[in-house]
Amino acid sequence: MDHFLYRDGELFAEDVRIADVAAAVGTPFYLYSTATLTRHYQLFDEALSGMDHMVCYAMKAASNQAILRTLAELGAGMDVVSGGEYARAKAAGVPGDKIVFSGVGKTRAEIRQALEGGIRQFNVESEPELRILSEVAAALGKTAPITVRVNPDVDAKTHEKIATGKSENKFGIPIAKAREVYAEAAALPGIEVIGIDVHIGSQLTDLAPYELAYQKVAELTEQLRADGHTIKRLDLGGGLGIPYTRSNEAPPLPSDYGALIKRTVGHLGCEIEIEPGRLIAGNAGILVSRVIYVKQGEGRQFLILDGAMNDLIRPAMYDAYHDIVPVVEPEAGIEYQPYDIVGPVCESGDTFAKNRMMPPLKDGALVAFRSAGAYGAVMASEYNTRPLVPEVLAKGDQFAVIRHRPDFDEIINRDTIPPWL
Ligand SMILES: *Cc1c(COP(=O)(O)O)cnc(C)c1O
């Protein structure tokens, strides 16, 4: 459920007229709904009620500080995957002890940054990382709380680019090797083992892979405890999928997911941590764009938008489907027609949809890409020297620009021409 609905023949974000935002900000822009972000966070929080838990938002999905602040004020922790994300979370007001550090390639500098600024735990992904972490922590006279990310060799049944829990993926250590790695961790200075971490992929639309993975984590918890380790926290990752189209079967609800967690690991008495990203931000954001031209091609009509693959790369990168809806509500009974919906970037890959049935649209019409809140703005680039797309946050009847659109000078002045040229 989200808060982007037609009212009086026009699309609104909560109580904000989207056409008003377009007039104030220009197009294209991302627009997020505070009420939707809040609701999605609360669904997870409620799904884990009755268990000691923390929802650590995977901020790589949408990392604007206004979004982080919104979630942090509700009690969310953050899952970060880089020093930049760590700094952003801190800047948004998230305390270090609510920040979890994930990722396969943490550098010494990033490890030092997190140890100095405070950290809830590192999710360690390899033995070399474990050794560097020990070295850096010991040199600083600090102790790094850790979980080891285990790779359960489970097929998440999602797009290959976002599956992370199969043995051929680069993530985590093979679960069969876990006892060995925990034994090494326990013997290293500057390391405190506190739990286990697992994350098997993104946009999961079936709970069965979670069930398999969490059963393996439960077994491992008992083995590691028998080996003498303290396992008091289980980080179960993120990955729950969202509906990208309203006609598809709906993916499992956070409440079903919470029940699964209770069933598989609830008896272990561990604190439960989850790291959802997409389900919190995905349907809480849209990308609004304007039709520049309607172009008649050979046997097809193109809608050429002012938004492009650099603004929303998911269709080009993952063959992702996004509902695209006109901001002016189509009249009842109007005949739909097929369009190829494209951006102005000089690549054929800059195609959002082919043969998409839409009501007739004219130059200047506004359209909204639904479910664009996660892995949208964060993956945007300035390819073709197109300004980074701005972000806007709506709350009730107010809206605010939370990332401005850079002007050309701002973009161009980042380059430096060497004096010898
Ligand atoms: C990307 C990622 C997540 C979030 O995945 P979603 O599909 O957005 O929920 C959580 N944990 C880790 C370690 C990740 O890499």
pLDDT tens for each residue of 217-233: 999 999 999 999 999 99
| 407: Cα separation from own chain's centroid | 27
Model pLDDT for residues 252-269, shown as the tens digit of each residue: 999 999 999 999 999 999
Å from CA of 188 to ligand 1 middle: 28
- What is the structure's pLDDT at 254? 97
**Confidence class for position 168, pLDDT limits 50, 70, 90:** confident
Q: Residues 187, 334, 346, 421: which is the catalytic one?
A: 346
- What is the structure's pLDDT at 250? 81
Pocket test for ligand 1, best of 57, 202, 206 (most atoms within 8 A of CB): 202
Model pLDDT for residues 291-312, shown as the tens digit of each residue: 999 999 889 999 999 999 999 9
pLDDT of 161 over the 90 cut: no
Q: Annotated binding residue at 285? A: no
**Confidence class for position 160, pLDDT limits 50, 70, 90:** confident
Model pLDDT for residues 102-116, shown as the tens digit of each residue: 999 999 999 999 999
Specify which residues 101 forms β-bridges with: 80, 122
- What is the structure's pLDDT at 249? 67
Measure the CA–CA gap between 83 and 274, rounded to whole angstroms. 21
Of the chain, the percentage scoring pLDDT greater than 90 comes to 92
Contact assessment for residue 120 and residue 86, using Cβ atoms and an 8 Å cutoff: no
- What is the structure's pLDDT at 31? 98
**Confidence class for position 41, pLDDT limits 50, 70, 90:** very high
Contact assessment for residue 410 and residue 385, using Cβ atoms and an 8 Å cutoff: no
Instruction: Report the top-level CATH class of 103-274.
Output: alpha beta
Give me the CATH topology for the region 4-31+282-412: Lyase, Ornithine Decarboxylase; Chain A, domain 1 (2.40.37)
- What is the structure's pLDDT at 158? 83
Q: Can you state the angle between helices 127-140 and 178-187, rounded to 10 degrees?
A: 20
The residue-averaged pLDDT of 51-59 equals 98
Å from CA of 14 to ligand 1 middle: 27
Average pLDDT, the chain: 96
- What is the structure's pLDDT at 159? 82
Ligand 1-lining residues (CB < 6 angstroms): 58, 60-61, 79, 102, 199, 202-203, 237-239, 275-279, 374
Measure the CA–CA gap between 57 and 80, rounded to whole angstroms. 9
Domain boundaries of the chain, sorted by first residue = 4-31+282-412, 103-274
317's tokens: 């990168």
pTM of the predicted model, to two decimals?
Answer: 0.97
pLDDT of 78 over the 80 cut: yes
